[in-house]
Homo-oligomer: A and B are copies of this chain.
């Protein structure tokens, strides 16, 4: 054995065993064409015999590429962000990149820039930031940004490449569905005002209403959690005005469904309810929830695709307008929506 015990083998060990120089080993490892087939085979078997593995730090030091993408996500009892993260990871790995992840508890501009700073210590090549709030996106645009950044779920970010689901289209779709069912108007339990997804869904809802010449009630803001949907649902039940409610996510819809049920309001007989997200549970709500599905995996894929383009594009000509990719939303019809009572 030419490798001392207790030390992992280095390129020179492989070279010695194969009877070549370490440059030749490097060539083989990097798929360089100018290596004789026989030499290549000898090197390969030396690599396997030794269980050699290239030192990534040494390689990164000279190539100036770490192959690491930094991801800023946030702490989630929510379905969407978790799915998005997973989509990002799969896409990154398929392209041979590594993912270094920081998850945030609070979604503030400061927390995000702190997270990016932390990741910078690890020499990430670029960032994917899940940026669901306006302040975060704006903070992102302010960053010195020596590395490319792609915002995911970032609404219409000012100066950043963005991938997001078509929240506006989803809100429009949901509302249109209810109007088509003959409802005079549609009430809206919205997300918190500073979330871009909430904004987009509100805008789509409003547009559909306006197009139809329907009255536009004030949106009622929850905090995404079931409890807030419950509270607002109870209020709606008491007012006895709404016949159709578009809820900005399935968790709040669950709460609303429960409040309605407790108040003796039957869904969909008395009131139609539609959600947003299509979480795995919503099919088994009481009643099974009509909702709007988002393709989170696709969002992840496109986000990584965009970032890698930025990373690998030789054409370093700064694009006049940053790329922007919008994934369509899709209506999932179940039984919580029905025609308006005549």
Q: A: which residues have CB within 8 A of B?
A: 8, 51, 53-58, 60-61, 66-68, 75-77, 79, 82-83, 85-86, 89-90, 93, 98-103, 105, 118-123, 144, 146, 225-227, 229-230, 251, 254-255, 257-258, 261, 279-281, 283-286
CB-CB < 8 A to A280: which residues of B? 77, 225-226, 251
Decide if B286 touches A258 in the complex (CB within 8 Å): yes
CB-CB < 8 A to A146: which residues of B? 8
Decide if A230 touches B284 in the complex (CB within 8 Å): yes
List 7 additional contacts besides A90-B105, A255-B284, A257-B286; criterion CB under 8 Å.
Answer: A8-B146, A68-B100, A76-B82, A100-B100, A101-B101, A230-B284, A258-B284
**Nearest chain-B residue to A230 (Cβ)?**
B284
Partner of A283, one of B54, B79, B226: B226
CB-CB < 8 A to A227: which residues of B? 283-284
CB-CB < 8 A to A82: which residues of B? 76, 82
Decide if A122 touches B98 in the complex (CB within 8 Å): yes
> How near does chain B come to A233, taking the closest CB pair, in angstroms?
10
**Nearest chain-B residue to A118 (Cβ)?**
B93
Decide if A226 touches B121 in the complex (CB within 8 Å): no
**Nearest chain-B residue to A115 (Cβ)?**
B93
Residue in A67, A89, A227 with the greatest tally of chain B CB atoms within 10 Å:
A89
CB-CB < 8 A to A103: which residues of B? 85-86, 89-90
A284-B123 in contact given A76-B82, A102-B93 (Cβ < 8 Å): no
Decide if B281 touches A251 in the complex (CB within 8 Å): yes
Decide if A75 touches B66 in the complex (CB within 8 Å): no
A89-B101 in contact given A79-B77, A82-B76, A254-B281 (Cβ < 8 Å): yes
Decide if A57 touches B53 in the complex (CB within 8 Å): no
- Could you list 5 A-B pairs, sorted by A, with CB under 8 Å? A8-B146, A57-B57, A98-B100, A98-B121, A100-B100
